Amino acid sequence: MKIPTQQTVNANALNAKMIKILSFSSIAIGTSMALFSANTYAAEAFEACPTEAFIVQTPSGVPKTFGVELGTGSYTVLSPDMGLTKSLNGVGFSYLDNYLYGWDYEHGTVGKVGEDYQVEPLTIVKDSSAAAAGNFYVGDVAINENVWYGYRKNKGLFTVPLDGNDHPMNIVPGSKSNATYNVTDFAFHPSNGFLYAVTNGSTGKLIKIDPSTGAAETIATVITKSSGSFTFGAQFFDPDGNLYLSNNGDGNVYKVNVDSDNPAAELFSYGPSSTSNDGARCALAEVPVGDSVDFGDAPDSYGTLIDSNGARHGIVAGMSLGSLVDNESDGYPAPLSDDESDGIDDDDGISMPTGFEIGESAMLIVTTQGDAAFLNGWIDWNQNGEFDTDEKVIAARSVNAGTTTLSIDVPNWATTGDTWARFRLSSVADILPTGGVSDGEVEDYPITVTETGITISYYPSSSEYTTLAYEDLYPYQGDFDMNDVVMQLRISQFSKNDMVRRVAFDAQLVAMGAAYHNGFAVQLPDIGRGNVQESAIDWSMQGVKQTTSPLEAGQTNAVLLFSEDLWQHATPGNDCLYFRTEPGCGTQYRATWQMTVPFVDSVHVDDMPEFPYDPFIFATPGTDHSLAAKNITDGQNPGRKLEIHLKNKAPTDLFDTRFLGMHDDASAASQGHYFQDENGMSWAIEVPDTWQHPAENQRVDSAYIEFIEFAADESGETKPYWYLNATDSLIFKD
């Protein structure tokens, strides 16, 4: 593309202004306005379908044109003066004649721009609606017709044909009533003929606009901002249906695939910012990577290839990590790193002399070239193959040329083993682990996380389980066979120097003698929800790794959900109503769960809750759980409002306290008494052994006759081994 010199720009600007002064006049005729031009000045068209994006900004009232390489956000001033003293906005690129067109505020008409970046006002004739609409800052040129479309909220959608010398400006019939959406630019899709835009504000919604009526359809919310708002003044497409959005306030360029089933905006690159910002691009041109770009080489799950919006930097002399930086056409994810293929390792900016041990500090020696630079870094502590927000170890650290020594903390919740680190140097202060930046370098490093001096405490032991048995008819005592849900649980506490870093659970479903559906969870009393590193929880169900978080929302304490419906994990078997509670219904099958829960801050062993913490069952949401429960919860199925805990364990925040004291329940919260009747009998019991539970409809105090004495004694000292003496005919046997 030809880039004008300063002398050419000034001469062209002077000629254009002379023509405007000598040849423009306007007269009002009825409700229409005509602009007449000699049209004696016409620049050459651009080269066919340029790949760069054009950004027009208006600092100090004078429009400037930038060329932006979307791949890295690198930009060049193409023209510091477009021959206007007011804005050019609503800009679009015509694929049919290779000119830019936009709304010329100085002359109140559509302006035509060629390769010299000077604005030639067109002669237009406005209908009455167009005459009343004023100036336009939203516009684009159609792909399949040489027509400029402009939009003003509450005024309508308007068209201006661009071929020939006659340019009538007319409102699209019916569009005024549809002109309710708040956008500052829109763009034509490269193939389907519709206009698309993302609305402004703290919530950006992707809308699809029918150019024949101006009617808009909301497709999805694609971006949100917790504070402040977006103003997407420049929006344009590539041939693959990706809509690029340039935010005026910070110049960040976002990318949205509008043809996706679930469109969402991702930060793509960092471009020029301005309070006045408009953009245009040939929608049929591919988005190139650029001629001099550095990529990372971590596995592609971290964002390495351009198709994954990989980390990439425009190579600029005098700004790099270390002394070496190489040019790549795309990322080379490990193990096929270009460092291996060409034998030149340009990752020479970060030295790690101390290694990475959990709970300790690690030293980094950073060597950089260039001043006024910022370093950002990430380490995948939880080894999930991504750089999560809470894994940023260096945030916009200002560094100058030379060597800088930094110390970072290896968190308690890090996972031992091999993982990856990414470091990015740029003049942009705060950047993400992916996306394009106009300068600097990215370096990726494989590292190993270790852990020493860890003590593991098991409950009840490293090879045994404790048994938990529940009666689910609470607040009625029911048949009290204590086999509605029978779970086995083993707990492990990992500590160093008496500070617990994480806990782990092994659980299995032993029996279910209930028609109602129940879930199973464990509460960690006095362990705040915020002290659990949610992103690092590792858990599996029936040996299958789970990707959703088991940490329940809306709780003060940490509450871990193993299952919302245990019946999803067991079947009764032939001619059986329940699971392992009826004669002839035995099976060796057990549904199993494994869960490791790391803490943000270690907890002293003396401050940990007493074993077995607080395992409980609850009514499965959306399922019936007796008329008695419905009567307490205003006629609705109780769901999470109904919980059944071990004796004297306080319920969670989601429990409905109206259950306390109802029917057979004799809880007294002020005394710390929960989930027991007036005789001290509870709806949940723990047996520190692989216990044989009662058979269906056999009361626990009949199957184990010493249980009544045990339950009546608050100290637990009476008949503590009641579970060893069973009435053989009343217990379940495989």
The secondary element (H helix, E strand) that includes residue 701 is helix 700-703
pLDDT score of 17:
34
The structure tokens 């600007």 sit at 13
In the chain, DSSP finds a helix count (H) and a strand count (E) of: 6, 47
Closest CA to 518 of 638, 662, 687: 638
The secondary element (H helix, E strand) that includes residue 230 is none
Strands 125-126 and 168-171: parallel
pLDDT score of 40:
41
For the chain, list residues with pLDDT below 50. 1-40, 341-342
Report pLDDT digits (tens) over 111-146.
Answer: 999 999 999 999 999 999 999 999 999 999 999 999
The maximal CA–CA distance of the chain, rounded, in angstroms, is 113
Distance separating alpha carbons of residues 106 and 87, to the nearest angstrom: 7
pLDDT score of 527:
98
Q: What is the DSSP letter of 731?
A: B
Q: What are phi and psi of 512, to 5 degrees?
A: -145, 115
Instruction: Check whether the bond before 335 is cis (ω within 30° of 0).
Output: yes
Write down how long the chain is.
Answer: 734
- 3-state SS, residue 546: coil
Count other C-beta atoms under 10 Å from residue 453's C-beta.
Answer: 10
Q: What are phi and psi of 21, to 5 degrees?
A: -65, -40
- 3-state SS, residue 101: strand
The secondary element (H helix, E strand) that includes residue 551 is none
**Helix (H), strand (E), coil (C) string for 57-87:** ECHHHCCEEEEEECCCCEEEEEECCCCCCCC
Half-sphere exposure at residue 121, Cβ-oriented, CA atoms within 13 angstroms: 28
The structure tokens 């402040």 sit at 228
Q: What is the pTM of this model?
A: 0.81
Domains and CATH numbers, the chain: 6-280 (2.120.10), 293-450 (2.60.40.10), 455-730 (no CATH)
Give the amino acid at 47: E
Report how far apart the first and last C-alpha atoms of the chain are (Å, whole number): 82
Quote the Cα angle for 257-260-263, to 5°.
65
Return the structure tokens found at 164: 């020939």
